[in-house]
Chain A
Amino acid sequence: MKYMKSKYDFYKLLATFIFIMLPWLFALIYNVYYKKDPYQAKIMVQNYNTDTLTGADHSKFKELQKDFKSPQEVTETCLSCHNNRGKEFMHTEHFQWLKKDSIPGRGNFEMGKRNILNNFCIGINSNEQLCSMCHAGYGYGNKNFDFTNQDNEDCLICHDNTGTYKKSNPCAGPNLPGAGNPSPGVNLSAVAQHVGFPKRNNCLSCHGVGGGGNNVKHGDLEMALNKCTRDIDVHMASKDAKDNNMSCQKCHRTTNHNIKGELAMVSSSPKNGISCVDCHTDHPHTDKLLNNHFRQVACQTCHIPTYAKVNPTKIYWDWSSAGKLKNGKTLQYEKEITADDTICKSGDYILAEDLPNLKSRDNFENVKLEYNGKHGTAVFANNLKPEYIWSNGYFDHQFISDKITDTIHPLILNKPFGSYKDNRYPSDKKHPSKIIPVKIMRGKQIYDKGNMNLIQPKLAGKIKGSGAYWVDFDWQASASEGMKYLNLPYSGKYSFIETESIWPINHMVSPKEKSLTCEECHSHNSRLAALTGFYLPGRDRSVIVDKGGVILIILALIAVLIHAIIRIINRKKTTH
C-alpha cells in the first residue's frame, strides 16, 4: 500500500508535526532559558531603612564620669537627660510584665509573665528573685515590687553596648544579689558611658535564654544568632561582610519604647504584631503560583524549614519525675536517645518516637534526654521540623483560675483560635487564619486535683523548709506555698497533667534556596498531615476513586492482553 501520494503529502505531514511540536519547543525553551529562576529574582523590600546617624558618644558626658554606687543611680542619671523616657518605659511590658489584651469571646484581661503559667518553669510568682534576672528593672523580688518607681527601671540591660553588663543569678552561688540586680563584677560607669541602640546581644541575653538556658524555650531564638551565617538566619547573619546583619528593631519596629511584636504565650491578639509583609509585600515571588499561597500559608511556613538550627531546644519537660536524689544530692544525668527509648520515668511511659515534635524526624541524631532531680525529665533536640497549625494570631489562655475540664487529653495552655474555616470566613478580616509553623512544647506539670486548676509551685529558694521545691523536694509544700503566695485556694491534692504550649516559629529564616519544596506539603508524606478538613493537592485523594481507578486500569490491561492473545492464536490457526 502506498501511503505517501507524493512528496507534497510528505511535506504536508512534516508541516503538521512541526506545528504540533513547535509550541512545546517554545514553551520548553522559554521555561529553561528565559523564565526567571525564582531564586535568581531580586527580593523586593519596602519600608526598610538603615540608620545613617551614629548615636551620641556617652563617654564624653560629664554626668556619666562618676563611680555609680547603685544601678538605680545610673537610671536616675539617664533620666536626668532623657527625662520623658522613664514615664514612657514604665508602661511597657518589659517593665510591667503585664498588658491589657482581649481574648475573643472572653473579654479584656491583663496578662503577661506576672499571671500566665507555662510548661517550662511554670510561673514567676514566689520565684521572682530568680525570674527577674530577665526583668528590665531592679528589685523585683516579690509581688510588692513598686512598678511606679522610675528609678527601678533597668536601662542598661537593653542599651549596654559593651556586652559586659550582666544580671546576677542568685542561684549561682551563696550571697549573690537577686531580683534583677547587676552581677557584682559589672563596672556600672564603664557600661553607662557606652550605651546606644540595643544590639542583638541585648535582646538575646534574655529572649535567647528563656526557660533556663540557651535556646531552651523558643527554639528559634538563641545566642548563636549574635554571629551566624545566612543558612541559620538570612536577616541576622553577620559572618560575611555582605550579610544583612539586621538588628532586632529592624523588624520589631519601636516607637517610644513600644517594641512591636507579640508572643503567643503571653498575648491573645495580634494587635501589636509584626509581619514579613511589612517589608516583603504580599506578593514577593516572581511565580504567581507561589504568591497565590499567601492567602492560606504564612511566609514562615515555607521559609523556616527547621528551627533550633544550632543549639538544641527543649521539647519535653516532665516535672512529675523530678525529686530523685543520690547520696543527698540531686540526681543528674544525660544521654543520647533513639526512637524506641522511653522518655518518661514516672507515670506513663512513652516512646521517644511518639513525641509529635520528633515524629517527622529522619534521624534521631542529637536527641538528648536530660534528667535533673530538680526539674525532672527533659528532651532536647536540634534541627527540628516545626509542627503546623492554623492561626489568626489570637490565642486563648489557661489562667490559673480557669477550671480544667479534661484530664484525658493534653491541656493546651494557649489554645489558638485559628482554623481552616477562619481562613475562609475570617473573624478578623485583617488577620485571616493561616498555616504557621510552631514549636509545641509538651510536658507534665502540677495541678490541683481537688479544685481542678493549675498550681503555681514555689520553686526557687535557698532556705530549707521554705517550701521551695529545689531545696525541699516536696511538691505538697511547694504547691501550698506557691498558692498561698497568690492568695488562691489549694485543695491539698495535687497531681500532674499533660500540657502543651504553642510557640510560633518566626526566626531562623532560611535563604530562599533552602525554603521548603512543594513536596514537603504536597505529598503523601506531608508536613501538614495533622491539618485536616480541607483538600490539599498531592496530599489528599479519594481512596475509593484511586483504588477503583487502578483496579479498572489493571482490568482493562488484562482484558486487552487476553483479547490480543486470542486474536494472535486464532490468526495462526487460520493461516496454517
Chain B
Amino acid sequence: MKKQTYIYRSFERFWHWSQALLIFFLMLTGFEIHSSYKLMGFQNAVKWHNMAAWAFLVLIIFAIFWHFVTGEWKQYIPTSKFVKEQFRYYISGIFKGAPHPTKKTRYNKLNPLQRLIYLGLKLLVIPVQVLSGFIYMYYIYPNNPIHSSMGTIAVIHTIGAFTLILFVIAHVYLTTTGETVFTSIKAMLTGWEVVDVDEKEEHIKHMKDAVEKSVAGYYRLDKNGIFTDVNAAWLKMFGYKNKDEVIGKHYSIVREEKYMNRLDELVANVLKGNKIIGIPAIRKNKDGSSGKHILSANPITEGGEITGLEGFVLDINESDDYSQHMYDAVRNSRAGYYRLNSDGYFEDVNKAWLELYKYEDKKDVIGKHYSFSRCEEDLKNLDDIFKRVTVNGETISSIIATRKCKDGTKGKHLLSANPVYKQDKIIGMEGFILNLPEEK
C-alpha cells in the first residue's frame, strides 16, 4: 500500500541542503587550493574554504544532536539483508522495470545500500575530512604537536575529497531512479513523498489508537497473573485513577474471594492457549463496590510461547438493556446445567435440569450414561455432539434436542455444550439446556 507521507522533516531538509551546498562549495574552493583550476584566487579560496569548514562543523554538531534526539540515527543501522538484491536491482532489474527490492517507508527511509554508504560517509569520510581539514588549517601554527606529516594530512584530505565527489556523482544520479526522475529531489525539497506504508505497522498503530481511545477497558497480564498494562477506560471502570495503582499487582485485586476460583480457572485456561470470547463477570472495584462486565481474554504469544494474556472488559450498566438481559438470561433463567465425564457419564446436574427431566433426586441421574436421556432415534445426535465436543474440542452454542423424561414423555430444549478441561486435557463436557415450549 502506498500513501503520500511526510518523510523528511524540516530540520532534516535544512541539514541535507545546507550540507549539499557546503560540500559543493568546499569542493569548489578546495580544488582551487589544490591548484586544479583558477577561479576566485588562492587567497579567497583559502578564506572561503576555512569559513565553510567552520559552518560545516557547526552543522554537523546540530545534525548529530538531531539524529540522537529524534532517534533517526537508527535509520543508518546497517543490514546485510537485501544488499545484494538492491545492488542487482541497480545493475539489471531497473532496466527491466522490476520493482524496487526494498520498500521505502517512514520508518525505513533508506535502502540497505544507502544505509551502508551513508553510514560510511558519516562515520568515516566526513570525520576524516573534518579532522584532517582542521589539522591542515592549524598545522602552521608554532609549537603544534604534529610534526613533519603535513603532506600525509593533505593527501588524506585529497583522497577524502575525491571520495566525496564520487559519492556526489552516484548520489545525484541515483536520485533519478525514483518514481519519476525528480520524485526524490522533490521529496527532499518538500518533505512529502508517496512511499510504502507497512500494513502491519499501520494496523498496530490503528489498534493502539483504538485501544487508547476505546470505551472498552483493556488489560494485559503476564503469565503470573500480574497486570502489565491497562487503559484509561479500564481504570475508570474499576475506579482507579492511575495506572501505577494497578500495574505490578496480581489480578486477585479485582475479584471478591467467592468469584476467585472462576477467574483462576479462566486465567489458567487462557494461558493454555484458549480464547474466551465474552463471559459475564462480577468485578471488585477499588472502593470495594462491585460491578458487572463482560470479559474477553486471549493469550499473548511471543516466539511461540505464551507469555501472558490480554483482553477487554465491557461494562454492563443498568441502563444497558441488552447486555442486562443477556446476563439475566444466563444467570437467572431456568436453564438446566449438566456435566458429563469423558466417558459420557453424568457427574453433575442442577435443580432446573432435574425439573425438566422430571426427576426428584440427583442420585437418580449421577453415574448414569447420557444415553438414558434420549430415545433410540435421538441418541445418534447426542453421540455426535458428545464426540464433537470431547474429541474435537468444539463449543456448541445452541442445538435443538429432544429429551426423554423419567416418565417416558418427550420434551424439546435448546442445548449448549462445551468441553471441560483439566490442564490441556478434555475431561468431559458441560452445558446448559433451555426448555422449548410445546408448539401449539
Contact = CB atoms under 8 A, between A and B. Distances in A.
A4 B55 contact: no
A140 to B, nearest CB: 47
A574 B50 CA distance: 50
B165 A20 contact: no
How many of chain B's residues touch chain A, expressed as a range?
35 or more
Nearest to B189: A13
Contact of B162 (A19, A549, A564, A566): A549
B46 interface: yes
B35 A542 contact: no
Given A3-B186, A535-B151, A540-B154, A553 B166 contact: yes
B56 to A, nearest CB: 11
B162 A522 contact: no
Contacts of A524: 35
A281 B56 CA distance: 34
Contact of B14 (A20, A546, A567): A20
B42 A292 contact: no
A545 B186 CA distance: 36
Contact of A518 (B18, B46, B186): B46
B158 interface: yes
A546 B165 CA distance: 13
A556 B35 CA distance: 22
Contacts of B97: 570-571, 574
A556 B18 contact: no
A23 B136 CA distance: 24
Interface string B20-44: 0100000000000111001001110
A539 B150 CA distance: 13
B148 interface: yes
Nearest to B19: A20
A296 B166 CA distance: 36
Given A295-B140, A552-B166, A538 B33 contact: yes
Given A16-B14, A295-B140, A9 B190 contact: yes
A33 interface: no
A292 B141 contact: yes
B141 A3 contact: no
A271 interface: no
A361 B159 CA distance: 34
A2 B13 CA distance: 18
A519 interface: yes
A4 B192 CA distance: 8
Given A13-B190, A539-B35, A23 B159 contact: no
Interface string B164-200: 0110011001001000000000100111101000000
A560 B166 contact: no
Interface string B113-154: 000000000000000000000001000111000011011001
B155 interface: yes
A560 B94 CA distance: 13
Interface string A326-366: 00000000000000000000000000000000000000000
6 contacts: A16-B13, A24-B21, A289-B47, A517-B41, A552-B166, A560-B173
Given A534-B151, A552-B166, 9 more contacts: A1-B4, A518-B42, A522-B33, A523-B35, A535-B151, A541-B158, A542-B158, A545-B155, A564-B176
